[in-house]
């Protein structure tokens, strides 16, 4: 089978592009700059108030020393607000929604997840700069979507 020279060049270029894209994914994953925000953990959004974790959302320190921030997004607030976490320590955010799809973005950081009712979105971030950060909902969720915000305090 003979392959035309131009065809051969295009095949090589496409292969190189695919290699670059896959390499970029592996590189960013390896450096932890990008990681999938969630895992498959389901929760009944109509019974959050009876849930041992999300019934009283807040920041807790587990027995092994890891810091967990449990957050509930609900039209048009985040609970707790403000969220206080320690600096230079990995913080695992666990976020769920009581109603519709929201977003949870700590502006200026790579902490960013979609918050879907029925699921727990989880990711771990280490904040290295103390200060106050703005948390914004970045999924359109209703008439007051633009007002849905909270404060993160890193200290």
Contact 99, 76 (CB under 8 A): no
Closer to ligand CUA by CB, 16 or 147: give it: 147
Task: In angstroms, give the least distance from the CB of 116 to ligand CUA.
Answer: 12
Closer to ligand CUA by CB, 68 or 149: give it: 149
Task: In angstroms, give the least distance from the CB of 125 to ligand CUA.
Answer: 20
Closer to ligand CUA by CB, 94 or 102: give it: 102
Long-range pairs of 146-152 with CB within 8 A, sequence gap ≥ 24: 147/76, 148/73, 148/75, 148/76, 148/77, 148/78, 148/102, 149/78, 150/77, 150/78, 150/81, 150/82, 150/83, 151/81, 151/82, 151/83, 152/82, 152/83, 152/84, 152/85, 152/106
Interaction with ligand CUA in 95-154: which residues (CB under 6 A)?
102, 137, 139-141, 145, 148
Closer to ligand CUA by CB, 85 or 141: give it: 141
Burial 115-150 (b: 16+ CB within 10 A, else e): bbbebbbbbbbebeeeeebebbbbbebeeebeebeb
Interaction with ligand CUA in 28-57: which residues (CB under 6 A)?
none
Copy the structure tokens of residue 108: 């200026």
Interaction with ligand CUA in 54-93: which residues (CB under 6 A)?
76
Task: In angstroms, give the least distance from the CB of 114 to ligand CUA.
Answer: 11
Closer to ligand CUA by CB, 76 or 80: give it: 76
Task: In angstroms, give the least distance from the CB of 24 to ligand CUA.
Answer: 30
Copy the structure tokens of residue 35: 């990681």
Which residues of this chain interact with ligand CUA, rule CB under 6 A?
76, 102, 137, 139-141, 145, 148
């Amino acid at each position: 089978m003979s392959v035309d020279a131009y065809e051969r060049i295009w095949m090589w270029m496409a292969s190189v592009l695919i290699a670059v894209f896959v390499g970029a994914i592996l590189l960013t994953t390896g450096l932890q700059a990008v990681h999938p925000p969630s895992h498959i953990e389901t929760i009944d959004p109509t019974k959050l108030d009876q849930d041992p974790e999300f019934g009283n959302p807040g920041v807790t320190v587990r027995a092994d020393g890891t810091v967990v921030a449990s957050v509930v997004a609900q039209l048009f607030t985040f609970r707790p607000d403000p969220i206080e976490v320690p600096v230079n320590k990995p913080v695992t955010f666990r976020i769920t929604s009581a109603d519709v799809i929201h977003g949870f973005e700590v502006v200026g950081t790579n902490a960013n997840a979609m918050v879907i009712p029925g699921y727990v979105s989880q990711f771990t971030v280490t904040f290295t700069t103390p200060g106050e950060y703005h948390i914004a909902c970045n999924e359109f969720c209703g008439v007051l979507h633009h007002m849905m915000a909270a404060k993160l305090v890193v200290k």
